[in-house]
Amino acid sequence: MNSASPLVTNAYIGLGSNLDSPIEQIKSARLAIKSLADVEELSFSNLYASTPMGPQDQPDYVNAVMGIATRLSPLDLLHTLQAIEQAHGRVRGNQRWGARTLDLDLLLYGDEQIACPELTVPHVGIAERAFVLYPLSDCVQDLFIPGKGNITDLLAQCQLSGLRRLNEHESA
């Protein structure tokens, strides 16, 4: 059972999909997250198409970032996100970094730095991955990422690496 705290924390979730109608997967995951008790949506980025990081023999991804306010603890939030991944047909295959219907990453949880076997926050790669940093910057103008630096500085050092913002027509 989730133990909701009276304290509200701002958190950011990275959403990614490259199988089974990725745009629909992302939209459906957004709905599932915003419908959770103890979660309120604060922001949602544009949708982006991105070439795969990792094995190239897989379709391009659709990526987005969602900002929430939550009373869930980091681990309760992680488990809840994993349940939503499962409900979207996520199968953890043998291939590392293989294609997936839905990936929900807990990117940031307040200004906390968490390193436990199940969870690393800020998320690994947050500072270098264009498909995380650009949508994150749609959600928040000014942000210090604990242990990494200011988002503006990180963006300035980040290559676009095949990232493309989807236009209104494509995202519809």
List interacting residues with ligand ROI (CB under 6 A): 16, 50-54, 61, 63, 97, 103, 131
The neighbour count for residue 3, using CB atoms within 10 Å, is 10
Q: How far apart are CA 101 and CA 47, in angstroms?
A: 16
Q: Residue 2 or 28: which CB sits closer to ligand ROI?
A: 28
Q: Residue 57 or 142: which CB sits closer to ligand ROI?
A: 57
Tokens of 32: 């599932």
Query: Does residue 121 come out as left (phi exceeding 0), alpha (psi in the -120 to 50 range) or beta?
Result: beta
Considering the complex, what minimum distance in angstroms separates the CB of residue 77 from ligand ROI?
18
Which residues are catalytically annotated?
A: 90, 100, 103, 105
Considering the complex, what minimum distance in angstroms separates the CB of residue 52 from ligand ROI?
5
Considering the complex, what minimum distance in angstroms separates the CB of residue 60 from ligand ROI?
7
Which class for 122: exposed (0-12), middle (13-18), buried (19 or more C-beta within 10 A)?
buried
Q: Residue 74 or 135: which CB sits closer to ligand ROI?
A: 135
